[in-house]
Each structure stands twice: as structure tokens, then as C-alpha cells.
Structure 1
Amino acid sequence: MTKEKLLLIGAGGFGRMVAERAMLQYDCAFVDDGQAVGTEICGIPVVGGLANLPELRREYGLLVVGIGNNQLRAQVYEKAKALGFAFPNIVAPSAYVSPFAKIGCGCVVLQNACVHNGASVGNSVLLNAGTEIHCDAAVGDYALIYTNSVVRTGATVGSFARIGSNCTICNNATVSDGADIPDCTAVR
């Protein structure tokens, strides 16, 4: 069976982690302005830079942005959306997403992450390994949550927020749009 073709934007550290999961399901290619066309990264070819997206759209219909910078990820996502790309979610086999959770487009859910019943995750959200989004919690568009952080029941993480590693967003707490929460922090 032939796999669908998927463009992975960004071949840096996060992009490579996304690639490890995406290549299980898709025929992948990287787009990265810092790499020469034809270079292979993790066995995946680099086929161009961001300026090449319009012509790459002829061959690729699917795209995921694997860039940790929330603002840059949003810019690329919006440009690709205007070009007509579709955005699958990349979910590691060891992750769990409840069938009663809502998850947007172009999200990445890495190994052992959990999105519980009633949780809501926006578009182009990156959930690192071990992240937990508990019941009825909400995560806004373009947020980034690092390893082993927990968003507890009823909590809200705003759009463009960055939650460091080993953080707890306590029950019903609110993290504002664009907030940058340092590693090992509890937000009450």
C-alpha cells in the first residue's frame, strides 16, 4: 500500500522528533530553509525551503509544522493553510487521545502523552512526551507544552503559551495567551 505524502516543516530537534512518528504512517519530506535540497535527515530528504511551498503543493497535500517557536509555527501554518494544505495530527503510538476529547488540526502528540475525556486542544499544538491534558482542560492554538507537564482538570492554557518541562497547571487555573511558564512551575 502506498503511503500518503507529507511535508514536515522544520528539520531541527523538534522536527526530527515529529519525523520519527510521522514516517510510521506517511511518506515524508522535510522543508527547511537551513538545509540544502537533497540532504537527508533521519533518512528523509529535504525538498526545499519555505519559499518553495507553492510549487510543493502540487505534489504534497498534507503538511505538519515541527517548529517549537510558536509565532513562527503559526506564520507557517497560516501560509500553508492559504495554499490549501491539509494538516493531519501526528500522534505517537504510545500516546492516548480520548475519543471524547477535541483536538484541532496539525497537532503533534508525542510518546506517552495523554489527552483525557472532555479536554480540548487547539490547532498546531505541540504536546511533548509525557504531557497530560486532564478532563475538561483547554489548550489554545499554537501552544507548546514541554515534557512531563500536566494541565489539570478545568485549567486553561492560552493560545501561543509556552509551558516548560515538569510544570503543573492546577485545577481551574488560567495561563494567559502568549505566557511563558518556566520549567518546574506550578500555576494556581
Structure 2
Amino acid sequence: MSKKKLLLVGAGGFGRMVAEQAMLQYDCAFVDDGQDVDIEICGIPVVGGIADLPELRKDYDLLVVGIGSNQFRAQVYEKAKTLGYGFPNIIAPSAYISPYSKIGYGCVVLQNACIQNGASVGSGVLLNAGTEVHCDAAVGDYALIYTNSVVRTGATVGNFARIGSNCTICNHATVLDGADIPDCTAVH
């Protein structure tokens, strides 16, 4: 059985990490404005740039954005939505997502990340390796949470927020929309 075709937007560091997980399930190609067409990165061909998305739509139904800039990621998803692309979630086999949680579209959940019972994660969210979203916590659309950070029970992370590595968002704490929380910070 052949795999479905998937465009991966962004061939930088994060995009390559997304690709490692996506290749397990999809036949992937990169779209990246900073790379030459027809080269391969990690064995995956570069087939164009962002401006090529309308033309690429005839060959690809699915797209995931692996770029760390929350605003840019949202812009690409919005453009791709108008073109009719679908947005699967890319979930590492070692990640755990409770069947009693909610997760939006176009999310990336990397190795050993965990989304617990009653938690909700919006669309276009990037959860790096070791991230935990505890019971009844909420992560807004287009948020980015770096490695080994924890969003504790009942906490809220706003839309477009960026949480650095090794952070703890304490029980019932709120991180505002667009906030940028530095590495190793506790938010009470």
C-alpha cells in the first residue's frame, strides 16, 4: 500500500525533526524558500517554495508546517487552508495522547511528549520532545512549547505563546496570548 503524500513546510532544524516522524507514515516532500528545488534533505526532495503551494496542490492534499515562528506558521496554514490542503497531526510513536484529550489540526507532537486526560491543544501547535500537558490544561492555537516543559493541571497557555525549554507553567496559571517565556522559568 502506498503512503499518502505530505508537504512539509520548512526544512530547517525543526522541519527536519518533523520529517523524521512524518516519514514513518507519509511520502514527504519539503517546501522551503531558502533551499534549491530538486535537492534532497534527509533523503526528502525539496519541491518548491511557499509561492508554489497553489501549483503543488494538484499533487499534494496534505501539508504540515515545521517552522518555529508562531506568526509565520499561522500565515502559512491560513494560506494553505484557502487552497484546500488538509492538515494531519504528526505524532511521534513514543508520544502519548489520551483518548480523553482534544487536539486540533496540523500539530506536531515529538518524542515522549504527553497530552493527558482532559487536556486540550489547539491547532498548529508544536510540542517538542518531553513536553507534558497535564490534566485539564489548555494550550492555544499556534503555540510552541520547547523540550521538557510542563503545563500543569488546569493551566492555560494562550494562542501564539512561546514556552522555552525546562519551564513549568504551574497549576491553574495563565500564560497570555503571544507571551514569550524564557527557558527554565516557572509561571505561577
Normalising to structure 1: TM-score of the pair? 1.00
Aligned to 2:57: 57
Aligned to 2:93: 93
TM alignment of 1:10-159, pairs within 5 A: 10-159=10-159
Whole-angstrom CA distance in 2 between matches of 1:55 and 1:33: 15
Length, aligned pairs only? 188
Structure 1 gaps, min length 5: none
Aligned alpha-carbon RMSD (Å): 0.3
Per-residue deviation, 1:34? 0.4
Q: Percent identity?
A: 84
Normalising to structure 2: TM-score of the pair? 1.00
Q: Secondary structure at the match of 1:7?
A: strand
Structure 2 gaps, min length 5: none
Per-residue deviation, 1:158? 0.1
Code of the aligned partner of 1:6: L
What do the CA deviations read for 1:29-57 (whole angstroms, capped 9, x no partner)? Answer: 00000001001000000000000000100
Code of the aligned partner of 2:160: F
Q: Secondary structure at the match of 1:73?
A: helix
Per-residue deviation, 1:84? 0.5
What do the CA deviations read for 1:68-96 (whole angstroms, capped 9, x no partner)? Answer: 00010000010001110000000000000
